[in-house]
């Protein structure tokens, strides 16, 4: 089945200048890629300044073979989950192909949820070893010959206090994007606006950053991981419309109560980060794990998850939910 992206209108930037953002793409100065085992301090410092960081060699050859094999197998066995049928769901249309909740039926993926290369950096950025909470895990593919999508620059979930709290860190939510294929010029590419996480809109970031504003494509070989604060403006930068790309996206929330400050008070307390979506479900084996650390990691339940658990994890209840089998 040939899948084509549905192009969006450039609402975030200046449509007179570019199909995405403001057209100020900088390809001549790639950012550093840090080794998460030896450069964790430098990686975290870079993230705190710019709202993202690139980590190198985060997946082994065997892991890349396993995950790409998972794509091939499940796209053949469950094409409807990926959006490979005529009945494509709205969330498929902007992404090309996406398998939204593979953890529900595939325990072989559990070992990736706290990957030993990238996860220690996530722990540092969210405030400590016991602070990360699972939010979402999905697989995406921009298929070959999908054409341009002109995805708008956007941020993901944000907390309003990010604009005025002191200090800003730790983050509220993080996303880790692992590249499962090489991402080279011509391929669709994750692209960020460095330093944009403290602005409400892309236009506000463009105005305030002035000459420092730029849109930075993050190229890298398979196995690269990009961590970004969900408040950072980003997009999938279009390539030549022919090359494909596969990525694994995992979102983390911050757990625990945290003392902070606002301009009006030094006694402000940041609550645990709210749930990321109202539809995401956690598998019973993880949500009710006998291991206390795993239960804590999977403890940020939304109301859909609460109702599913109350039903005794009834398959019919799951099936009735949005993306319950996708």
Q: Per residue in 15-39, pLDDT tens?
A: 999 999 999 999 999 999 999 999 9
Sorted by where each starts, the structural domains of the chain and their CATH numbers stand as: 33-276 (2.60.120.620)
The pLDDT value recorded for residue 13 is: 97
Closest to 146 in 3D by CA, of 242, 45, 30: 242
85 pLDDT more than 90: no
| Helix, strand or coil, per DSSP, at residue 175 | strand
> In the block, which residue shows the tokens 């089945």?
1
Q: Residue 41: how many CB atoms within 10 A of its CB? A: 10
Rounded to an integer, the average pLDDT of 270-277 is 96
1 pLDDT more than 80: no
326 pLDDT more than 90: no
Query: What does the alpha-carbon distance between residue 65 and residue 198 come to, in Å, rounded to a whole number?
Result: 38
92 pLDDT more than 80: no
The answer to whether the beta carbons of residues 54 and 192 sit under 8 Å apart is: no
The pLDDT value recorded for residue 68 is: 98
pTM of the model: 0.96
Residues found in the chain: 326
Q: Residue 147: how many CB atoms within 10 A of its CB? A: 18
Write the CA distances from 300 to 46, 274, 321, integer angstroms: 28, 8, 18
- The pLDDT-based confidence of 322 (bands split at 50, 70, 90) is confident
User: What percentage of the chain has pLDDT greater than the value 90?
Assistant: 92
Rounded to an integer, the average pLDDT of 93-117 is 94
Q: Per residue in 30-68, pLDDT tens?
A: 999 999 999 999 999 999 999 999 999 999 999 999 999
The pLDDT value recorded for residue 6 is: 86
The pLDDT value recorded for residue 38 is: 97
Q: Per residue in 170-193, pLDDT tens?
A: 999 999 999 999 999 999 999 999
Q: Look up residue 22 and give its two tokens.
A: 């403001």
User: What percentage of the chain has pLDDT greater than the value 70?
Assistant: 99
Write the CA distances from 86 to 2, 80, 82, 83, integer angstroms: 10, 9, 11, 8
With a CB cutoff of 8 Å and minimum separation 6, the contacts of 35 are 55, 56, 57
Q: Counting Cβ atoms within 10 Å, is residue 158 exposed (0-12), middle (13-18) or buried (19+)? A: middle
Q: Per residue in 124-173, pLDDT tens?
A: 999 999 999 999 999 999 999 999 999 999 999 999 999 999 999 999 99
**219 φψ region: left (φ > 0), alpha (ψ -120 to 50), beta (else):** beta
The pLDDT value recorded for residue 93 is: 66
């Amino acid at each position: 089945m040939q899948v084509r992206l549905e192009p969006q209108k450039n609402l975030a930037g200046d449509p007179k200048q570019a199909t995405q953002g403001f057209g100020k793409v900088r390809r001549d100065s790639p950012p550093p890629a840090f080794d998460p085992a030896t450069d964790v301090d430098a990686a975290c410092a870079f993230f705190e300044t710019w709202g993202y960081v690139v980590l190198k060699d985060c997946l082994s050859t065997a892991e890349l073979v396993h995950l790409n094999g998972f794509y091939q197998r499940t796209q053949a066995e469950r094409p409807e989950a990926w959006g490979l049928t005529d009945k494509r769901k709205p969330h498929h249309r902007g992404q090309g192909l996406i398998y939204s909740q593979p953890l529900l039926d595939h325990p072989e993926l559990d070992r990736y949820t706290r990957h030993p290369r990238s996860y220690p950096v996530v722990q540092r950025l969210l405030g400590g070893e016991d602070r990360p909470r699972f939010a979402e895990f999905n697989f995406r593919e921009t298929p070959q010959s999908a054409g341009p999508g002109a995805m708008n620059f956007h941020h993901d979930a944000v907390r309003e206090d990010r604009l005025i709290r002191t200090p800003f860190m730790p983050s509220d939510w993080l996303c880790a994007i692992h590249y499962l294929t090489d991402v080279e010029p011509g391929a669709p590419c994750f692209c960020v606006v460095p330093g944009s996480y403290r602005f409400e809109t892309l236009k506000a970031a463009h105005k305030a950053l002035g000459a420092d504003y730029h849109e930075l494509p993050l190229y890298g070989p398979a196995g690269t991981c990009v961590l970004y604060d969900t408040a950072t403006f980003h997009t999938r930068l279009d390539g030549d419309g022919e090359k494909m790309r596969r990525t694994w996206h995992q979102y983390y929330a911050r757990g625990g109560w945290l003392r902070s400050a606002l301009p009006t008070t030094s006694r402000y307390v940041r609550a645990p980060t709210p749930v990321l979506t109202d539809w995401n479900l956690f598998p019973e084996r993880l949500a009710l794990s006998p291991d206390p650390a795993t239960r804590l990691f999977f403890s940020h339940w939304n109301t859909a998850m609460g109702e599913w658990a109350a039903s005794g994890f009834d398959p019919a209840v799951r099936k009735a939910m949005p993306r319950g089998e996708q």
